Amino acid sequence: MGNGGGTHIAFEHVTKSYDGTTQVVKDLCLEIERGEFLTLLGPSGSGKTTCLMMLAGFETISSGNISIDGQAVHTIVPHKRGIGMVFQNYALFPHLSVGRNLSFPLEVRGISSSERADRVKKALELVQLEGFEDRKPANLSGGQQQRVAIARALVFEPEIVLMDEPLGALDRRLREEMQYEIRRIHQQLGVTMVYVTHDQQEAMVLSDRVAVFRDGSIEQIAPPETLYEEPNRVFVSSFIGDNNVLYGKVEEIRPGDLCNVAVGSEDHVQALIIEDTQPGDSVWVAVRPERVAIAREEKQYSNQFEAIVKDIVFMGDHLRLNLETCGQRDFIVKIPNIVGHGAVLPGDRIQIGWAALDCRALPMDKEKEN
């Protein structure tokens, strides 16, 4: 994570309210390492963009403190914070050439014309747009315009780069290409990047860590693999990838941090305990669709149930089975697209199963319950 350079940016008990009553950011404490790529991930209205705007200086803090290298930034005007910014809509000057768009932030900072030309050339090389200096934004594709916007954010060599949904206007293929371009640029430069998106795949591809936002607070912050494999809240388990979530009550605590959970009308699931749990507690049991297999033998898995195949959707590299099981009518299983998958058809009764360690007994989320 990062370059091991210590804390670069710190949010200390930061709150933000626009009307003095409703907090869109709630008591946020967050440390970002120097050289780290941190993504703020969450649905619309979760507070992630507001956090970015407060760091950039485009929004004021209601309370708390944001610091860069230990220095509070609330008294520093945005253009003196040493921060590069990339927006979803590119925000390029349409009447200026690519070269002039990149040169403008250097002129504002009083950099000489010879050094400006050198920096513009290097920035365009970095985003693989050498030779585009004289083109106007209108003559570029969406992906090229976004590369120019990234180059402009980097041309004055900031230590921090903020990106607010920068790929949201691109089609899927271009978006995926640009994800890997941004990842390459970050690895090459080693600057601190803070990135806002609602796209969980984008967050997984790019980030050293991901902070999952909900209602102005961070639900969980961790490396992408940890968020996917070890979510500690049902919201995180469902927001990061697909998940089957079953409601149940703990009946028994077992050795090895396991518990038995009653789900549906008469089924029982063995699951890994995530927080201190006692018999009688209500929990959500979460299991990833790809961790569920079709059982070929009786008692092949510690969790094994009969299921009715409601629908099968061809997804290319895998098939998505919609099943009725464990009292749920939309239980999802993903099976590889390999020879023999046609043995499962809609209407079939099959046995499915998964290991106890592949499902997690998560604490109740009252909002989801209601």
**The pLDDT of residue 170 is above 90:** no
pLDDT value of residue 339: 60
Q: 123, 186 in Cβ contact below 8 A? A: no
Phi, psi of 116 (to 5 degrees): -60, -45
> Percentages helix, strand, coil for the chain, rounded to the nearest 5?
30, 35, 35
Token pair 């099981």: residue: 325
DSSP tag of 232: S
Query: Which region among 38-47, 335-344, 351-360 has the lowest average model confidence (pLDDT)?
Result: 335-344
Partnered with residue 272 across adjacent β-strands are: 258, 360
pLDDT value of residue 342: 64
What's the mean pLDDT in 193-203? 95
Report residue 370's pLDDT band, with 50, 70 and 90 as the boundaries: very low
What's the mean pLDDT in 32-43? 97
Q: 97, 136 in Cβ contact below 8 A? A: yes
Return the higher-pLDDT residue of 331 and 87: 331
**The pLDDT of residue 217 is above 80:** yes
Q: Does domain 242-369 have CATH number 2.40.50.100?
A: yes
What does the block give as tokens for 23?
């907090």
Report residue 369's pLDDT band, with 50, 70 and 90 as the boundaries: very low
Query: What are the tens digits of pLDDT across the range 239-252?
Result: 998 999 999 999 99
Report residue 4's pLDDT band, with 50, 70 and 90 as the boundaries: low
CA–CA dist 79, 210 (Å, integer):
27
What's the mean pLDDT in 316-320? 90
pLDDT value of residue 2: 52
Q: 19, 25 in Cβ contact below 8 A? A: no
Closest of 225, 230, 182 to residue 200, by C-alpha: 225
Partnered with residue 267 across adjacent β-strands are: 263
Report residue 122's pLDDT band, with 50, 70 and 90 as the boundaries: very high
pLDDT value of residue 89: 82
Report residue 368's pLDDT band, with 50, 70 and 90 as the boundaries: very low
- Listed by start position, the domains of the chain span 7-235, 242-369
CA–CA dist 125, 115 (Å, integer):
15
CA–CA dist 338, 344 (Å, integer):
12
**Which helix H or strand E contains 350, and what residues bound it?**
strand 349-354
Report residue 364's pLDDT band, with 50, 70 and 90 as the boundaries: confident
Closest of 313, 314, 226, 306 to residue 267, by C-alpha: 306
Closest of 63, 259, 86 to residue 169, by C-alpha: 86
pLDDT value of residue 296: 87
90: left (phi over 0), alpha (psi -120 to 50) or beta: left
CA–CA dist 251, 268 (Å, integer):
9
What does the block give as tokens for 216?
């102005």
CATH of 7-235, one of 3.40.50.300, 3.90.960.10, 3.20.20.100, 1.20.58.220: 3.40.50.300
pTM for this predicted structure: 0.90
Report residue 298's pLDDT band, with 50, 70 and 90 as the boundaries: confident
pLDDT value of residue 101: 93
